[in-house]
Amino acid sequence: MTAPNKGNKALKMVRRRTGVSVWKAEDWIVWRLRLVLGKKVSRVAAQISWILKKTVEERSQEECLMLSESADLVKELEWRNQRCESLRRRQEEVFDEPETLRKKVWELASAVQSAKHLVVYTGAGISTAASIPDYRGPNGVWTLLHKGKSTCTSDLSDAEPTLTHMAIAQLHACKLVQHVVSQNCDGLHLRSGLSRAAISELHGNMYIEVCTSCSPNREYIRLFDVTERTGLHRHLTGRKCCHCAGDLRDTIVHFGERGILAQPLNWAAAVEAAEKADMILCLGSSLKVLKKYHCLWCMNKPRSRRPKLYIVNLQWTPKDDMAVLKIHGKCDDVLRLLIGELGLEIPAYNRSKDPIFSLAVPLQSGEEASHNRRAVRTAEEVDRSQNGAHQEEDVRGLEACQISAVPPSVGWFGKGCRKHTKRKK
């Protein structure tokens, strides 16, 4: 910037009124001009946007003249409108016609039978049938938070593995699926009977807390949601390790955080499985987060040597163009048809055989009051509750949670997304 002319009346006036130097006065004028011009452009842009909403026949001669005189601005606004429309369409849920769905599932079944090393990537969409909301669907957690609305979640201790969870466990038992990489924190893969070694829970498990003071880290599987007191960058649960008395922390990886735990994230097994895979099946995931994990997509390999990609999701994903097949359907519907095509049966979830009851570590003496979450109920407790004999115990167990009519929100929903949400003024 060259030194301004000291005889400039405007600069002298600004200097006299504000007491700033000539250099700062010039900067102030530039800022002021930009502000005024910006407001003027904004007003013109608002007028043009209103005109563009009309049909050509509805526009007056003056409005047509205004559009012709602001060709660059019209072009910019039209591009923005197209972009917004494209983003809106990506959020829409699309369903394949029944006949189309059956044909696509037949093609998927053929691929599953031919695959030598199939890895399944799962997202929140496989748990919606268990009354656990997804993130980016029409009523998803992040969708509501971005709109400034509150989220309401049911008590996850009542959730059970869905048909999709049980189907995946069956496919693994039949050696058709070699590994499962999950973004979900709900612990339903574990409860479906899937082997711990066969799961990589990249974003943690709500039932698991760990002691990082022990080497190797010591896991504590609980019957309740351990994230009640935790949040973004706050992971201590308030309980202690029974071996070293170190602080226990949850295993959740919130949006904006980096996972540092070996288990239950199991990144090593996930990367190894991806390297060996000749087929990847994505179920119920928007892939907007998973796409950033380049090691899961073998991007270092030539395109011809990368695993074939199959996607089951109702909405657009950033990997659609790379997929051999995209199926627009609910995960339960697709897996039901797939298991039928493969000549298998999906085992029903049996609460009495839920692995979490045998894996769970009881709390230490004095820690019973360290949480207010209801524990996962045994089959006997559910039966008594349904018969009405357990009603009184249910009320006592829910007293701490039912302070209001709104169910308690789990500690990991929406964390890391708050900074993007709309706030009421």
Q: Give me the active site residues, please.
A: 203
Q: Is 214 annotated as a binding residue?
A: yes
Asked whether the beta carbons of 217 and 211 are under 8 A apart, the reply is yes
Is 152 marked as a binding-site residue?
no
Q: 334, 335, 337: which is closest to 95 by C-alpha? A: 334
Asked if 221 and 207 count as a contact pair (C-beta separation under 8 A), the reply is: yes
Contact 66, 51 (CB under 8 A): yes
- Answer yes or no: are the C-beta atoms of 412 and 252 closer than 8 Å: yes
By the 8 A CB rule, do 47 and 53 touch?
Answer: no
List, as own/partner pairs, every contact residues 195-198 make where C-beta atoms lie below 8 angstroms and the sequence separation is at least 24, other chains included: 196/264, 197/269, 198/172
Helix (H) or strand (E) holding 51: helix 22-52
The gap from C-alpha 85 to its chain's centroid, in whole angstroms, comes to: 22
242 assigned ligand-binding residue = yes
State the Cα–Cα distance between residues 233 and 250, nearest whole angstrom.
11
Give the integer Cα–Cα distance in Å for 392 and 411. Answer: 27
Q: Is residue 217 within 8 Å of residue 258, measured between CB atoms? A: no
CA distance linking residue 275 with residue 119, whole number of Å: 10
Instruction: Report which of 285, 304, 231, 280 is spatially closest to residue 111, judged by C-alpha positions.
Output: 280
> CA of 361: how far to CAs of 242, 357, 372, in Å?
10, 9, 17
Pairing between strand 236-240 and 218-221?
Answer: unpaired
Annotated binding-site members: 211, 214, 242, 244
Annotated binding-site members for Zn(2+): 211, 214, 242, 244
